Amino acid sequence: MSDSVEDKRLKILNILRDNNEALSSQKITNHLNEQGIQISERTVRFHLLAMDKKGFTQYIGRKGRLLTALGEQELTKVKAYEKVGFLSSKIDEFSYNMNFDLEKKEGSVLVNVTLISQDDLKNSIELLYTAFEHGFVMGELLTIFFPEDSDDKIEIPKGFVGIGSVCSITLNGILLSKGIPVHSIFGGLLEIEDRTAKRFVEIIQYNGTSLDPLEIFISSGLTDHTRLCSSGSGVVGASFRDVPASSREKVIQIFERCQEIGLGSFLEIGYPGSPLLEIPVSEGRVGFIVTGGLNAVGLLAESGIKLYSKTLSGYVDFKKLVNYRELKKYFK
């Protein structure tokens, strides 16, 4: 039972958001009563007045009240615990909403957008090239966003550029579009020796975190792309996932096609019910490991380039992606 004042106010804000139009206090009371919450219209009005003062709601005359941007923000802030499942849920939601056609190479894929200062662009292009050549980066494609490319979803402030690296969730979306459901299990720090994946040294499960493990590994300074790029041994972020055992051959075929068109592939794939790099896999499933899309920018962070925003994620038309080898042409 959650009966605090704050709980009731959040429920009111939720109702306003879900309805997406002005509502009178009478209508809000009805909605609350339908949810099994015993509350009088008088009390609802009291809460609404308090929230008007805080700027969460706005009275617009006889039609009633609207949720303000501040109220919306309050709602997203407050749902900490619902965020716990966030990474797993976010991954599934992003996969489900992709519309990429692998055969026609049409539609959008998911990218992570990392902001850097425009002054760091030239230096970053060099480092990105090195990362794609020697680091464990997924595929060969990326894109650069400028402030003039800003849209609703991806906003690039003046003085910054956004590095759009293909997010490894793109591979889940492609598999799902072929009818193959993917479970994303954990993000881990993967030790690489002589360019071979050896073992996970740290693990954060997606269903127990509101923060992206791969972002955290980079921002905490736990990765070692620098050594990896120079010597072939290092530590990078990677994601452990599994698919139904019977889909193994089809998954391999799909990943071959992904590789052909520059989207990358799995780093390792296992066998039905067999552990992969010491990680147990359930009966009837096959584990696979993909490197993080963010590994493209890991080397930048380690080289002292300030990454201003961790990651914004958004869909980008596949046609806007370029091969990393072409970047140097553009930014001499």
* Contact positions vs its own copies (CB under 8 A): 1-4, 6-7, 10, 77-81, 83-84, 186, 188, 191, 199-205, 207-211, 216, 219-222, 273-275, 277-280
Specify the residue, 173 or 292, whose C-beta has the smaller distance to its own copies. 292
Task: Give 314's strand partners.
Answer: 111
Instruction: Phi first, then psi: give them for residue 292, nearest 5 degrees.
Output: -75, 140
Query: Where does residue 201 fall: left (phi above 0), alpha (psi -120 to 50 degrees), or beta otherwise?
Result: alpha
Give whole-number Cα distances, 59 to 23, 25, 241, in Å: 10, 10, 48
Rounded to a whole number of angstroms, the minimum distance from the CB of residue 154 to its own copies is: 22
For the bound state, the minimum distance from the C-beta of residue 211 to its own copies, rounded and expressed in Å, comes to 5
Smallest gap from Cβ 195 to its own copies, in A, equals 18
Q: Which long-range contacts (C-beta less than 8 Å, at least 24 apart) are formed by 57-60?
A: 57/12, 57/13, 57/16, 60/22
Q: What DSSP designation does 21 have?
A: S
Q: How far is CA 307 from CA 142, 311, 323, in A?
A: 17, 9, 22
- How far apart (Å, rounded) are the C-alpha atoms in residues 153 and 217? 25
* Of 232 and 275, CB closest to its own copies: 275
> Residue 86 CB, nearest distance to its own copies (Å)?
9
CB of 218 to its own copies, least distance (A): 9
| Cβ nearer to its own copies, comparing 3 with 194 | 3
Residue placing its CB nearer to its own copies in the complex, 188 or 262: 188
Residue whose CB is less far from its own copies, 151 or 278:
278
